[in-house]
Structure 1
Amino acid sequence: MNKRKIVIQGVEGCFHHLAVNAYYGEDVDIVPADSFAKLVELTQDESVCDGGIMAIENSIAGSILQNYGLLQDSGLVIEGEIFLRIKQNLMALPGQKIEDLREVHSHPMAINQCRTFFHDYPHIKMVEMEDTALSAKNIRENQLVGIGAIAGDYPAELYQLEIIAAEIESIKDNQTRFFLLKRKNEVVANGGYNKASLYFSTSHDPGSLSYILDCFAKENINLSKIQSLPIPGVNWEYFFHVDLEFQGPRQFRNALDTISHYAKEIKVLGTYNQGIIIT
C-alpha cells in the first residue's frame, strides 16, 4: 500500500511535520513547500499529494491572516483540525553561548512567540526566515558561527545543534491550530460533524453583522472565531471568516438557512469534528 503524501510548509522536523505525524501517524511521506501559497498550489494537484496541512493561528502570535485569504480562493476543503503544543528552543552549533550570538533566525510566528525572552539580549538581531526547522538546517549545513535558531526539539536532534535555552516561548501553554485540507471532490461526507468554518460578507445596513451573529446565538451555536479580511478591489468592505461549534449538523443547517437571507455571500470552507490538543 502506498504511503499517504501530505504537503507541509517547511522542511523535515518543522512543526507542520510534527502535526502530520500526530494526526496521521509516522507512516506518511511529507511533501515540503517553501511558502503557504506553494502549499495550497501543491495540495490542489492530485498527482502530487493526498492532502495538505496548514497552520492557521497561534495562541500567542494570533492568526496567520494570509492563510485565510489563500483558503477562500483555493477550492480546498477543511476536513479536520488539530492543536499542537508548541515548545520553542534557542539552538546553535555546539559549544556556543547566548553571548556569542549576533543573530537568531526563525519563522516570524516563532519569533513573535519568544520576544519576551530576547528583551534581555538586545545585542541579538532577530531575522525572519521561511521556517523554524529550515533555520536550524541552514546553520548546520553552512556551519554558521554566531547564529542561532528558534525551533522545536526535533530539529535540534535532526541537525545536531545544541539547545542553549529550552522552552523560551513567552506563554508556556503555547498552541498552534492546523487545518487538514483536501480537494473538494475527495472529501468523504461526514454526517456527525460538530464544527464548521465559513466566510460571508454583509451589506452596509446598520446592524447587519450583529443580526447574522444573533442568528447563530439563537441556534445555540458558539462563535469560537471571527476574523475580518478585506475584499480585494473593494475599499473598506470585508469578508468575515467564522468558526462555529454546535451539538449537531441540524443547528448549523438551520442557522445557515437563516443567515442566507441577510449575508451577501456565504461559502462553507469545511464541516468537521472539533480537534484534539497534542502535547
Structure 2
Amino acid sequence: MAELPDLETLRIGIERIDAEILDALRRRMDLADDIARTKLAAASPLRDPTREDLVLRKVREAATSHGLDPHEIERIYRLIMDMSVARQQSLIQRLDTTPLRVGYPGIEGSYSHIAARQRYTGRPGGVLLNGFETAREVLDSLRRGELDLALLPIENTSAGSVSETYDLLADGGVTIIGELLSQVDHRLLGLPGARLEDLRTVLSHPQALAQCEAFLRKVPWIRPLPESDTSGAALKVRERHDPTVAAIASETAAQRFGLQVLVRDIQQASGDYTRFVELAREATPVPPDVPCKTTLTIVLEHRPGTLGQVLTALAQRGVNVAKLESRPIPGQPWEYRFYLDLEGHAASASMVAALQDLEPLTSAMRVLGTYPRAGSEHG
C-alpha cells in the first residue's frame, strides 16, 4: 500500500492552489475594470443578465465535466459576478468625471437601447445605461434620483403615439429636455434553419406589430403575440428553441441572440422613425437662438368649442401646433387631457402671451418642457 503524503505537505499544496485562485481572481477583477471603461465609452449597460446567464450555463456544464457539483459552483460564480459588478461600480465612483446614468425600457438590443447608444456613445465621462422592464420603472427610478436621464419612445411615423409614455408624463416629477429621431428597421428573426412557411407565432412589442401590420397580413398562418420588448421577444425565441416561433426585432438583437434574419425591412414604410423624448428631473436651459419645441399639457374647461378656442388663440399669437394628442383622464369618464407640441421657446414673447390667453380656457395647464428640436441640439 502506497504511503500517504503527510498532512503538512497536503496543506502546502492547498495553499499553493489557493494562491493561484486568488491570483486568477485579481486578474479577473482587473479585466472587470477594463470592461467597465469599455462599457462607459460604448454606452452599454453595466449589468448584462443575458450574458450572466450564458456564463453560468457554461460554468455548470464545465463543473459537471470536471466532476464538481454544478449548483455549488454556480453559487460561487454568482458571488464572483457580484464582486465584478461591485468592482466596476467602485471604479465609476472614482472617475474624475462622473458618467451619465441613463435609463430606457427594454434590454440590450432593443430599439430603445439602440437609440440610447446613438445619442450618448462617445460622451466625455462615459455613460452608464440601464435597461428596465417597463417605462414606468424607468421614470420611477429617475424620480428617486437613481438615474440622471430617461429615454422613452413617444411616437412612431407609422404606428402613431405611444400612449403609455403620454400617460406617464401626466404623473409629473419629470421634464422633457430633448428629443431624438431613430430610424426603425424591423427584421423577422427565427432560429437558425427556420423557414417562413413553418412559422406559427411571432412575438414583439405591440408597436412593432402595428408597424409591421401590412407584412403580417401577407402571412396569415403566423399569429402575432405581444411582448413587452422587441429584444426580449428575440431572447424568448432563442430560449424556447422552437422553429415555429419568431420575433420582430432589430438586426442587433439577431446578432446578440444568435438568430437568423428570415425577412428584412418588414415595417410598412421604408422611412419609418420613432421619436424618443429625453427626460430629467430638472429643466435644462435652452439658448433662445436654438430652434426648439415646448410641450404642454392642458385640461379644458367643460364648454363646447373650447379646443377650437385654444387652437385659435395659439394661431393668433403665431404659435404653430406641431402635434396634438388627447388621453382619457383616469377616474373621470369622457374627460380628456390634451398634449400639445408647440414650435418655439416657452420664454419667447409670443409663447408667454399665448399661454396667458389659454389660462381662462383651461382648468389645468402645465409646461412639460422646452427643448431643442431633433437635429438642432446645442453644445
The residue type equivalent to 1:53 in the other structure is L
The residue type equivalent to 1:11 in the other structure is I
Provide the rounded CA distance (Å) in 1 between the counterparts of 2:241 and 2:172.
39
User: Which of the residues 157, 160, 170 maps onto 1:62?
Assistant: 160
Deviation at 1:40, TM superposition (A): 1.4
Q: Partner of 1:14 in structure 2? A: 110
Give ranges in structure 1 of 5+ residues lacking alignment: none
Write 1 or 2 for the structure with the bigger share of helix: 2
Cα deviation, 1:70-119, whole Å, max 9, x if unaligned, reads 11113110001011110000011111110121111100100111111122
**Correspondence 1:150-169 to 2 at 5 A:** 150-169=248-267
Q: Does 1:143 align with 2:236?
A: no
Report the CA distance shift for 1:119/1:188 in structure 2 as closer, same or farther (over 3 A). closer
Cα deviation, 1:116-138, whole Å, max 9, x if unaligned, reads 11222111111111100111122
Question: After the TM superposition, which of the residue ranges 63-72 and 86-95 deviates more from structure 2?
Answer: 63-72
**SS at structure 2 position matched to 1:55:** strand
Cα deviation, 1:166-189, whole Å, max 9, x if unaligned, reads 0000111111110000013xx332
Q: Does 1:251 align with 2:350?
A: yes
Q: Partner of 1:128 in structure 2? A: 226
Q: Partner of 1:262 in structure 2? A: 361
CA contact (8 A) 1:40 1:74 kept: no
Greater relative CO (CA pairs within 8 A, separation 6+): 1
**SS at structure 2 position matched to 1:172:** coil
Deviation at 1:23, TM superposition (A): 1.6
**SS at structure 2 position matched to 1:123:** coil
Give ranges in structure 2 of 5+ residues lacking alignment: 1-96
The residue type equivalent to 2:111 in the other structure is F
How high is the TM-score relative to the length of structure 1?
Answer: 0.93
User: Which of the residues 105, 130, 137 maps onto 1:38?
Assistant: 137
**SS at structure 2 position matched to 1:119:** helix
**SS at structure 1 position matched to 2:332:** coil
User: Which of the residues 162, 166, 179 maps onto 2:277?
Assistant: 179
Question: After the TM superposition, which of the residue ranges 195-204 and 137-146 deviates more from structure 2?
Answer: 137-146
Provide the rounded CA distance (Å) in 2 between the counterparts of 1:143 and 1:205.
57
% identical aligned pairs: 31
Deviation at 1:139, TM superposition (A): 1.9
Q: Partner of 1:218 in structure 2? A: 316
The residue type equivalent to 1:203 in the other structure is E
Q: Partner of 2:121 in structure 1? A: 25
Cα deviation, 1:28-76, whole Å, max 9, x if unaligned, reads 2221111121121112121x22110000111111111122111111311
Provide the rounded CA distance (Å) in 1 between the counterparts of 2:138 and 2:301.
33
CA contact (8 A) 1:21 1:28 kept: no
**SS at structure 2 position matched to 1:260:** helix
Q: Partner of 2:179 in structure 1? A: 81
CA contact (8 A) 1:191 1:249 kept: no
**SS at structure 1 position matched to 2:253:** helix
Provide the rounded CA distance (Å) in 2 between the counterparts of 1:261 and 1:74.
22
Cα deviation, 1:249-272, whole Å, max 9, x if unaligned, reads 332212112212322110111111
**SS at structure 1 position matched to 2:218:** coil
Q: Partner of 2:76 in structure 1? A: none
Cα deviation, 1:152-178, whole Å, max 9, x if unaligned, reads 111111111110000000111111110
CA contact (8 A) 1:93 1:139 kept: yes
The residue type equivalent to 1:28 in the other structure is V
CA contact (8 A) 1:230 1:237 kept: yes
Question: After the TM superposition, which of the residue ranges 7-16 and 31-40 deviates more from structure 2?
Answer: 31-40
Deviation at 1:190, TM superposition (A): 2.2
**SS at structure 1 position matched to 2:228:** coil
Aligned residue pair count: 274
The residue type equivalent to 1:21 in the other structure is R
CA contact (8 A) 1:83 1:177 kept: yes
